[in-house]
Homo-oligomer: A and B are copies of this chain.
Amino acid sequence: MTLTSPGPTLGVVGGGQLGRMMGEAAAPLGVEVVVSDPTPDCPASPVVRDQVVGDFDDPGTVRTLADRADYLTFEIELADPDALERAGEEAGVPVHPAPETLRIIQDKYVQKERLGEAGVPVPDYRAVDSAANLRRALDDLGYPAMLKAREGGYDGRGNVPVESPGDVEDAFAAIVGAAPGATPDDPAGAAMVEEFVDFERELAVIGCQGTDARDTFPVTETIHEAEILRETVSPARTDEAVLERAEAVARDVLDVMEGRGVYGIELFETPDCDVLLNEIAPRPHNSGHWTIEGCHTSQFEQHVRGVTGLPLGSTERRFPTATANILGDVADRQPARLHGERAVLETAAAHLHWYGKREVYDLRKMGHVTLTGADAGPGSVLSRARDLKSGLTFRAER
């Protein structure tokens, strides 16, 4: 193994905050980053070598990226597995995680099928292609349940709760309307419905695969509101047995995933201390941002290490650590101007991460605040992170 200058170039489909933080993590390792993104001057752009401007699923863009890269990866599931596979083959550049893994994950139904077959515990679910068989499925699963577009959903978009038999028609119409490529005349394969998990809390594990090693970061507790991640804290405030179970499930998930890099694995803890898989992201994940300050190796550095074939770093947690997302809190799309950040910058052990997005809109992920606590427990760091975040707003200064 030898480190050269310039080092290898990592091509990343997607140049949002995840690509930006990959760039921040790659530099000390001597790995250069080029991203592709449809938005000129995307968030990653000012901190990486270069940006190829083009759609996530445009084969020409992906091929241009591949020609400039020694390794290909992606930071967004909207990347096209076929385009990645072809570009990687034609340019002779390895793609991690494997395009086949991206294909499996992109279809939530196939994802559940494959994981269930491998013995990963998942909530009960059915594929549905009409309001009529959604109704039949719910006779089995019971109400309430969650109807999901099989493809293209994120941050709660593409998910519709079905509370009672009276909701079935509207819920199905809403999902078919949201599903890419599906129409009321041809909704086949568009949706799945999943039993409602009355979870005790939500957990997440960042799993990582290297050339010959596999590891997991410490279990994180995640706090969502309206299906959008708001806060995380690690260690998760739960029993040791649940932490062990969550790690075991994450390792079983990794068995199904092909290709190197990190995987965000979202889990439910049930009231009887069992753990069920919720969803997987084949990339660094919002639930792992705390690792930047909280662990020896961040999830972003680990992803860069994994994809480029460097040895995985230690996943050990250094301190109890919490994060709070800075989300858009304005109704209309407008230039981003965040107020109140002085208190964050003045707080020892608080870290501001600003994603550099030009515009803010309601609930857009604009940045996050991390708080580490050498002598504090997880509840304390979480409440301090929450307090700091509560002082931030994009609304005009009062």
- Residues in A lying within 8 Å of B, measured CB to CB: 1-7, 20, 23-24, 27-30, 32, 46-49, 296, 305, 310-311, 313-314, 316, 318, 335-339, 341-342, 345-349, 351-354, 356-359, 367, 372, 374, 397
Asked whether A4 lies within 8 Å of B336 as measured between CB atoms, the reply is yes
CB neighbours of A49 from chain B (8 A): 46
A301 to chain B, nearest CB (A): 9
CA distance A223 to B7 in the complex (A): 29
The CB with the most chain B CB atoms within 10 A, among A49, A311, A347, is that of A311
Q: Please judge, given known A-B contacts A296-B349, A314-B349, whether A341 and B3 are in contact too, CB under 8 Å.
A: yes
Asked whether B348 lies within 8 Å of A316 as measured between CB atoms, the reply is yes
Q: Please judge, given known A-B contacts A7-B354, A46-B32, A311-B345, whether A374 and B318 are in contact too, CB under 8 Å.
A: yes
Asked whether A46 lies within 8 Å of B28 as measured between CB atoms, the reply is no
CB neighbours of A346 from chain B (8 A): 311
Asked whether A6 lies within 8 Å of B358 as measured between CB atoms, the reply is yes
CA distance A313 to B341 in the complex (A): 13
Known pairs A3-B341, A47-B48; list 10 more (Cβ under 8 Å): A5-B335, A6-B46, A27-B47, A28-B352, A29-B354, A32-B46, A46-B48, A47-B47, A296-B348, A311-B346
A18 to chain B, nearest CB (A): 13
- Among B30, B47, B305, B374, the residue within 8 A (CB) of A354 is B30
CA distance A358 to B337 in the complex (A): 39
CA distance A311 to B344 in the complex (A): 10
CB neighbours of A3 from chain B (8 A): 336-339, 341, 354
- Among B314, B342, B347, B354, the residue within 8 A (CB) of A348 is B314
CB neighbours of A347 from chain B (8 A): 314
Chain B: CB-nearest residue to A359: B5
CA distance A234 to B1 in the complex (A): 31
Q: Pick 16 A–B contacts, CB within 8 A, sort by A.
A: A2-B338, A3-B337, A3-B338, A4-B336, A4-B338, A5-B335, A5-B354, A6-B358, A7-B354, A24-B24, A27-B356, A28-B352, A28-B354, A30-B356, A310-B345, A314-B347
CA distance A20 to B305 in the complex (A): 20
CA distance A351 to B48 in the complex (A): 20
CA distance A48 to B338 in the complex (A): 23
CA distance A1 to B6 in the complex (A): 39
Asked whether A353 lies within 8 Å of B28 as measured between CB atoms, the reply is yes
CB neighbours of A356 from chain B (8 A): 5-7, 27, 30
Asked whether A28 lies within 8 Å of B24 as measured between CB atoms, the reply is yes
Q: Please judge, given known A-B contacts A47-B48, A48-B47, whether A1 and B341 are in contact too, CB under 8 Å.
A: yes
CB neighbours of A46 from chain B (8 A): 6, 27, 32, 48-49
CB neighbours of A296 from chain B (8 A): 348-349, 351, 372
CB neighbours of A305 from chain B (8 A): 345
CA distance A1 to B338 in the complex (A): 9
- Among B28, B352, B357, B358, the residue within 8 A (CB) of A29 is B352
CA distance A104 to B348 in the complex (A): 33
CB neighbours of A335 from chain B (8 A): 4-5
The CB with the most chain B CB atoms within 10 A, among A2, A310, A347, A349, is that of A2
CB neighbours of A32 from chain B (8 A): 46
CA distance A337 to B318 in the complex (A): 32
Q: 3 closest pairs, A vs B, by CB?
A: A314-B348, A30-B354, A3-B338
A211 to chain B, nearest CB (A): 11
CA distance A29 to B358 in the complex (A): 14
